[in-house]
């Protein structure tokens, strides 16, 4: 089954996924679905409530009545949790690690995957994350996996944090990136990996515009059914 006009973009942190996904969505008139923001929001709430990030039962309760709204913003997606705008608060390196921790919990993956499928059900969506092409939308029309050398990803992440007025130590960020990728890749459930039918792009030496152009060309070339046999 080809899922209605869904494009998935997965990859490790700092591979350029978010910026590129947002641009590809804008160029196609699609909605951008930032699945990482959802894991960050769950981590944020768990921390705020003082829960253990490995306590599946407590996380299940938290998720049962979660009030989470994603709204497209000018830059990052605006994330509203229980009527509180947490868009900025979740974009720290610490929240990335917290999100990675809660994302290994089956109950969290189950609930967020379900929410993501609901959000994608009308099609016209560019979904970005770690498992959008492998687990959330396995029948997506076009799939991409973006990667880049760890040192380059750390450099980009530092720039991004500094642009937001946050302090960033490149060495520390590199260590965090390596740890987070290892945790995300090693987990048994929906690990970070390229779908067998994804186009893998190493963005290390490419500009954002180059990657967007390459992806749009690929989408135009493979067309309606993503080059898959129907």
Residue 65: partners with Cβ closer than 8 Å, 6 or more residues away: none
Closest CA to 24 of 220, 173, 185: 220
By CB under 6 A, tell whether 153 contacts ligand DC.
Answer: no
By CB under 6 A, tell whether 36 contacts ligand DC.
Answer: yes
Q: Whole-angstrom distance between the N-terminal and C-terminal Cα of the chain?
A: 8
Q: Residue 171 CB, nearest distance to ligand DC (Å)?
A: 19
By CB under 6 A, tell whether 39 contacts ligand DC.
Answer: yes
Q: Given candidates 16, 120, 129, 226, which one binds ligand DC under the rule CB under 6 A?
A: 129
By CB under 6 A, tell whether 30 contacts ligand DC.
Answer: no
Q: Given candidates 8, 15, 21, 35, which one binds ligand DC under the rule CB under 6 A?
A: 35
The count of residues interacting with ligand DC (CB under 6 A) is 15
Q: Given candidates 8, 77, 87, 96, which one binds ligand DC under the rule CB under 6 A?
A: 96
Cα 80 from chain centre? 17
Phi, psi torsion values for 136, nearest 5 degrees: -70, -50
Q: Residue 153 CB, nearest distance to ligand DC (Å)?
A: 11
Q: Residue 218 CB, nearest distance to ligand DC (Å)?
A: 21
Q: Residue 104 CB, nearest distance to ligand DC (Å)?
A: 8
Alpha helices in the chain (DSSP H): 17-28, 35-48, 56-64, 93-103, 106-120, 150-163, 170-186, 208-222
In the complex with ligand DC, which residue's Cβ is closer, 30 or 35?
35
Q: Residue 63 CB, nearest distance to ligand DC (Å)?
A: 15
By CB under 6 A, tell whether 143 contacts ligand DC.
Answer: no
By CB under 6 A, tell whether 180 contacts ligand DC.
Answer: yes
| Lookup: tokens for 213 | 């152009």
With contact defined as beta carbons under 8 Å apart, do 13 and 157 qualify? Answer: yes
Q: Residue 130 CB, nearest distance to ligand DC (Å)?
A: 4
By CB under 6 A, tell whether 184 contacts ligand DC.
Answer: yes
Compute, in degrees rounded to 10, the torsion defined by CA atoms 10, 15, 19, 25: -30
Residue 200, CA distances (Å) to 19, 91, 160, 214 in order: 17, 26, 23, 11
Distance CA 128, CA 126 (A): 7
The pattern of x and - marking residues 101 through 120 that bind ligand DC according to CB under 6 A reads: --x-----------------
Query: Which residues contact ligand DC by CB under 6 A?
Result: 13, 35-36, 39-40, 96, 99-100, 103, 129-132, 180, 184
């Amino acid at each position: 089954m080809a899922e209605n006009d869904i494009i998935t973009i997965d990859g490790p942190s700092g591979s350029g996924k978010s910026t590129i996904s947002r641009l590809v969505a804008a160029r196609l008139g699609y909605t951008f679905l930032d699945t990482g923001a959802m894991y960050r929001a769950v981590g944020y709430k768990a921390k705020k409530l003082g829960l253990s990030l490995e306590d599946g039962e407590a996380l299940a309760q938290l998720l049962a009545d979660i009030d989470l709204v994603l709204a497209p913003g000018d830059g990052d997606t605006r994330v509203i949790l229980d009527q509180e705008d947490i868009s900025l608060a979740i974009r720290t390196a610490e929240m990335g690690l917290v999100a990675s921790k809660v994302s290994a919990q089956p109950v969290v993956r189950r609930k967020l995957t379900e929410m993501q499928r609901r959000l994608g059900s009308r099609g016209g969506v560019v979904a970005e994350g770690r498992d959008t092409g492998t687990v959330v939308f396995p029948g997506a029309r076009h799939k991409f996996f973006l990667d880049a050398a760890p040192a380059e990803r750390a450099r980009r992440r530092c720039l991004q944090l500094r642009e937001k007025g946050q302090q960033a130590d490149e060495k520390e960020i590199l260590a965090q990136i390596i740890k987070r990728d290892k945790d995300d890749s090693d987990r048994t459930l929906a690990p970070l990996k390229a779908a067998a039918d994804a186009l893998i792009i190493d963005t290390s030496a490419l500009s954002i515009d180059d990657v967007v152009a390459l992806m749009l060309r690929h989408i135009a070339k493979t067309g309606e059914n993503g080059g898959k046999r129907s």
